[in-house]
Amino acid sequence: MTNVNIIVMGRRMEIIIDTKRVINVESSFVTE
């Protein structure tokens, strides 16, 4: 793997984590 691929994968993981956080916040608002 090249450094570029590692950076791209890291960015993808960050995006996935961010979207999961947003989904959790939205679902918590709905339950309240």
DSSP structure string for the chain: --HHHHHHHHHHHHHHHHHHHHHHHHHHHHH-
State phi, psi for 21 to the nearest 5 degrees: -60, -45
The whole-model pTM stands at 0.51
What is the domain range of residue 2?
Answer: 1-31
pLDDT tens, N- to C-terminus, the chain (32 residues): 588 888 899 899 999 999 999 988 888 877 76
Residue matched to tokens 């309240």: 32
Give the count of domains, the chain: 1
Q: What is the pLDDT of residue 14?
A: 93
